[in-house]
Structure 1
Amino acid sequence: MDWKNIYRGLLMGVTDLIPGVSGGTVAFVLGIYARLLEAISGLFSREWKKHIGFLVPLGIGIVAALLIFSRLIDYLLESHLAPTQFFFMGLIIGVIPFILRQAGAKQNFKANHMIGLIVVAILLASLAFIKPDKAAAPITSLNIQTFFLLFFSGWLASMAMLLPGISGSFILLLIGVYTTAIKALKDFNIPLILTIGAGVIIGFIVSSKAIRYLLSNFQHMTYAVIVGLIFGSFFVMFPGVPVGLDLWISIITFLVGLVFSLWFSSEKFTKTSQ
């Protein structure tokens, strides 16, 4: 068992709670993104024991983060939205230099890659104009309709979680079940958690194979799309210009997030974390 993955899972789990921040970005920065895709895709192969040893500690960390920090994240987003969003915007901006280094952008990105990057960034940024209804009444019990809604919501969210730049939580917001998911975690509603979780697991298996195929056969374009997703997610996160004291607090939280992310994605850190 790779028990170091517990802290990696904690970091991924916290970010997956945030609409606009992707756990896939954290996996990328930690240097385990390719290994994560390989492990999920290989669960049903002959080497499943090796992959289980990688995924179980990671899963423990992710689940622990979801259960421990769901209340805190919900409180911060409800009561201190701008400073919280600016902190995560700082995290996103700080990750971009690392991703560009990993992609070898200077050497590998041609005109078509840049066009793909810009188009994807614009398409994702356009989601900032969509205002999901976070106040929608949460689902508290299951019937056939709510089962399929939550199952496929988990499926779609998990596909987003694996892509750096796209937040699974934001997908849940768009679908209208983010409040349901957070409340289920806070109240430990087992039927709802298992339903969403089943969709997440199936989505992970399917999407990991697709992403691995794209990285193997269209590596540079896939990297360009990932960078575009991260650029676009910055605009999705932007809550507007705060006023008064919130403006200064938001500037501070943005700088804290930026510095932390630059350190987090530095070559020294990533080497020691692998």
Structure 2
Amino acid sequence: MQLKKKFWKLASLLPLSLLLFLGGCDKKIAVLNPQGPVAKTQYDLIIWSLILMSVIIVVVFVLFTVILIRYREKPENMDYEPPDIHGNTLLEVIWTIFPVIIVIALSIPTVKATYASEKPPEQTKNIKPVEIYVTSANWKWLFSYPEEGIETVNYLNVPAGVPIQFKLTSVGPMNAFWIPELGGMKYNMDGMVMDLYLQADKPGSYTGRSANFSGKGFTDMEFELEAKTKDDYNKWVKEVQQTAPKLSENKYKEIVEPGVVGRMSFSSNHLKYVDPKSLEYCDYNYYKNKK
């Protein structure tokens, strides 16, 4: 009896401790604070998975409790010997079908969301995406705007309400590009280009980071994405084009050397120093257009 009392006392303190733990979080969890259509789709998938898993957990614990109470050893059944039963076809069918149903219920929305993320968001599919090459290096991020002819380091600006087509690559070790409030991560790999579509619904500042350990400077691989109105974005592009220095090949090689650097802006980009033939495009649309 004493052991039971201690157990229930500890169990009653668990919700309180969880409440106090969550009370220490003064900021929203980024992945649960979607600020764009891609992030919203992935957020809905997370919530659906949590609800489904919660239902399963509740059902399992209810069944466990019922069986534990109903079939426990009691004074009146101390001498009871259960009959020798070799399987139950109905039960075996049930516990085989239910896991299949659960997998299907998780797989269908997951596959749909995965394929949807490989193209511009449905809401803005008629708007031309802004193309930005994202190059990870030890331990910084380079953002090249081929159409605007500019480049930034460790920060980037984008127009709100417009899809962004990120082309991810790397100089050196593999990394992972992630802006939690705008969508899931994707890998940056040396010699390869991976497409990632994201979009910010409204102006604001969003923190991006590396999601793949890459050495001692890994924790410094954070950057800021600022979504601006269309007018403010165009004004910023013109300002960089007119006031920032050109990015020379020597300066580019200096930047990608292992080390931590601050924010930089250039009125040209390093793409002209990279041989496109050396890059393998992991993008279905690229090959389709080539044909």
When normalised by structure 2's length, the TM-score is 0.24
Structure (1/2) with the larger strand percentage: 2
When normalised by structure 1's length, the TM-score is 0.25
Structure (1/2) with the larger helix percentage: 1
Higher RCO structure (Cα 8 Å, ≥6 apart):
1
